[in-house]
Amino acid sequence: MKVLVIGATSTIAKAVARLLAQRGDCFYLVARNGARAQAVADDLVVRGADGAYFEQMDANDIAAHEPMLKRAAETLGGIDTVIIAHGSLGDQHVCEQCVQAMMNEIATNGLSVVALATLVGSYMAERGSGTLVVLSSVAGDRGRQSNYVYGSAKALVTTFLSGLRQRLHRRGVCVITVKPGPVDTPMTAGMEKGLLWSDPPRVAAGIVRAIDRRAGVVYVPGYWRPIMAVIRSIPERAFQRLAL
Amino acid sequence: MRTEDITSWGNAIRGKHLTVAPRSRFEAFPDIPSAGSVLPFGQGRSYGDSCLNIGGGLVFARQLDQFIEFDAQTGVLKCEAGVLLSEILKLVMPRGWFLPVVPGTQHITVGGAIANDVHGKNHHRAGTFGRYVRQLELLRSTGERLCCSRESNAKWFEATVGGLGLTGLIVWAQLQLRPIPGPCVHVESLRFAHLDAFFDLTEECADDYEYTVAWIDCLARGKRLGRGVFQRANHCVSNELVACPRGAVTFPLSLPFSLVNPLSLRIFNALQYHRAGDAVRKAVEHVESFFFPLDRIAHWNRLYGRKGFHQYQCVVPMAVAREAIHALLEIISREGTGSFLAVLKQCGPASPCGLLSFPMHGVTLALDFPSGEGPSRLFTRLDEVVSQAGGRLYPAKDSRMPAHLFQAGYPRWRELSALRDPRCESTFWRRVTQGAS
């Protein structure tokens, strides 16, 4: 399989790529930090990847997306799977005070993702095959006071992918929305870890399973599906009083 | 940066630490300015306080977990220091390679294996882990990155191997692996009736068996003192399909009391000894079950209850080994306390790799004791024997040795002190260097 990974130095993307590397997949890795992208590439090759190329790109530089996708397709000789995994977890409190910080969060976690998904969707539709995997979040299922900026960017992604999946379904393209619960990664380093937290290898295994069975929307770990169903069903009148 | 309550493997010592985790090997030294000092931290598998820096900072190195290069022709592997030995074995064993030295657990980081210059059942032949480190990168708090080997920056290499994390952060290492014919070892177990028999067996088997180790019944007294079961093994090619042990069972929680007590110990030891039988038992085992039997029970340290346990591991020089080990076992068996896992092992003549490497040509004895009043008196008496024999205790297992014993056992400690990173310190180091200027 030929895999393009955007946000390749993110812990979850790395964990997924490691599992795929063991099967001998070939990678094109894109990340904001070139040296770290190269380190991931070296790691994957040692772990069994058939090859790993990398490119430095800032996902917020929308104009860079198209040439990057072209280079990736040329380098790999066609792309089977695209994983979009970049993101940031900005400080909610800062976002409440500073409009620019809030807009940046939405841009990184929402706009840049749907921009990439649009291009990748067209590329795959034209080929008549492919799997697009995008990391959304359970946070996108309902806005909560503790992280609704991040959550609303992910809600944009989730809703966008839902439409894209429907549109591309008959073109042979599989669109997978991955909704991890909280995961112990550097992005969440400053947070208190509770019972429902998961670790990157477990989340990665869930994502690889989803790729293999061409799933639509997956919660990882799976117990988040019923939990979020309950949270979504709480009437707004009651929800606004909760301290979630 | 966070504040976390952290304990080591013995569960007997815990305390608050400020913690950080570098995200990549390209980052600057991950200092914590608000902490008085910092210490690199891998898996926290050291038993006592050598991996702790209570009241100070810890730098979690576990996330430096990337492989950098592997040459399947020569068996040279370069990886970041947070990679686990288990991850290395998973990668290299199917390609016919193995780590030349493995300790009793594979759940430790490469950085931790170097910093404690760990040894295994093949010490008499192979020496310590450090011997197979070709190069390493040391990141100092001054911002310097030193590529250290026996040829370049040799004094830093010697200080960092076995240096307990005190010389700075090990970022990556290049290791020389060894080829193996397959994932199996041919193991022979035989019972021995007393300590002298252990020494005879050790001598007899040293040349023909790559791996030797003995479990001993630490409660046996009189003529039976030092009886136990001797294991000797070699890598082998097997036609039988030997299953790799699957998944670990988890010991779920720490009870308020220890399950290791004089009664359970007596029963376990008698069973263990008599189960072995008179004949030599031969078996083909998977390397994982032979080298890492305790890894099959995750959190086995919880067996000792909430108060935790201490391990006492000493080494005494060959010339006086018989008398010294005899004296130690005498003291322990009279006490009636001790552990399921009492291990006796010969250490070979390989010269130590680091300034503070533990093994010396002689015999090492390791026992676990539940925490409490009793052991500390017992330890003091054991210390006297070790000290008189010219032996020393293993810092990776220690949480209580007196400063004078450390300083006498490790005469080169001042050299390490001079090369220590000005920002790096541990609870252990403060303890064993106090009173010395």
* Neighbour tally for B196: CB within 10 Å: 13
A150 is catalytic: yes
Specify the pLDDT at position B338: 64
**Residue B218 token pair:** 């630490």
Give pLDDT tens digits for A63-94. 999 999 999 999 999 999 999 999 998 889 99
Cβ contact, residue pair B67, A46, below 8 Å: yes
Relative to beta strand B281-286, strand B309-317 is: unpaired
Burial class for A189, CB neighbours closer than 10 Å (0-12, 13-18, 19+): middle
Give pLDDT tens digits for B268-294. 888 888 887 788 899 999 999 999 988
Mutate one of A10, A46, A191, A192 to test the B interface: name it (highest B CB count within 10 A): A46
Helix axis angle for A34-46 and A11-21, nearest 10°, is 30
Q: What is the 3-state secondary structure (H, E, C) of A139-198?
A: HHCCCCCCCHHHHHHHHHHHHHHHHHHHHHHCCCEEEEEEEECCECCHHHCCCCCCCCCE
Cβ contact, residue pair A186, B21, below 8 Å: yes
Specify the pLDDT at position A90: 84
Specify the pLDDT at position B254: 78
Interface of B with A (CB under 8 A): 1-2, 21, 23-26, 63, 66-70, 79, 91
B437 pLDDT more than 60: no
Specify the pLDDT at position B231: 95
Specify the pLDDT at position B239: 67
B347 pLDDT more than 80: yes
How far is Cα B391 from Cα B319, in angstroms, rounded to an integer? Answer: 11
Question: Phi, psi at residue B426, to the nearest 5°?
Answer: -135, 165
Percent of chain B with pLDDT over 90: 77
A43 pLDDT more than 90: yes
Q: What is the three-class DSSP state of A134?
A: strand
* Neighbour tally for A101: CB within 10 Å: 16
Range name among A195-204, A220-229, B47-56, B88-97 with the lowest pLDDT average: A195-204
Query: CB contact, 8 Å: A34 with chain B?
Result: no
Tell which residue, B34, B142, B11, has the closest CA to residue B19: B34
Q: Which of B1, B26, B70 is nearest residue A46 as measured by Cβ atoms?
A: B70
pLDDT band at A204 (very low <50, low <70, confident <90, very high): very high
* Neighbour tally for A17: CB within 10 Å: 27
